[in-house]
Amino acid sequence: MPLRQLTFSALFVAIAVFSAHIVYIPVGIAKCFPIQHAINVLLAVLLGTRYAVSAAFTTSLLRNLLGTGSLLAFPGSMIGAACAGFLYQKTGRIWGAILGEIIGTGLIGGLLAFPIAKFLLGSQVGAFFFIIPFLISTTGGSLLAYLLCQTPLASFCRERLGQ
């Protein structure tokens, strides 16, 4: 069973890394990726927190190694995935995962991006600079995940993954 979950996670990481070349929103030194947020929600719902956070970390690492991401990807995506998984586990509802992703990425990740931008990237932006773009990106991606969860494909995936 874990091989199936790992394979599914790897597929989503590949989609997230590939989509970074196509769909992103540039905001100063940050690049916002709505597909990553959709994947965080989907993995939180389909596989749980551990897989969602692991996939977010792997995606951020690969994007940085390939030059399509920035260090700001780590706090936003990983905290969003963790909060999405946690709230989905507590509520058992897709809206819990969406709320967790939006709060985790948009608010907490947006605030944690400031010290990374300031001390590691040398940016002089204000502490709240990243909240609005992160919120826009995560809200769009989370709504995309909601729509995908309403399709027959989501039911098929849940069935195949034993969820």
- Give 98-139 pLDDT, tens digit per residue: 999 999 999 999 888 888 887 777 777 776 788 888 888 899
21's tokens: 């070349």
CA distance 66 to 152: 34
Number of domains observed in the structure of the chain: 1
Structural domain harbouring 43:
2-160
58's tokens: 């792997």
112's tokens: 């944690």
82, pLDDT greater than 90: yes
CATH of the domain at 63: 1.10.1760.20
- pTM to 2 decimal places: 0.88
Residues 6+ apart with CB under 8 A from 71: 64, 116, 120, 121
Q: Give the mean pLDDT of the chain.
A: 87
Helix (H, G, I), strand (E, B) or coil at 32: strand
Q: With contact defined as beta carbons under 8 Å apart, do 74 and 60 qualify?
A: yes
Q: What is the mean pLDDT of residues 20-44?
A: 79
CA distance 49 to 22: 27
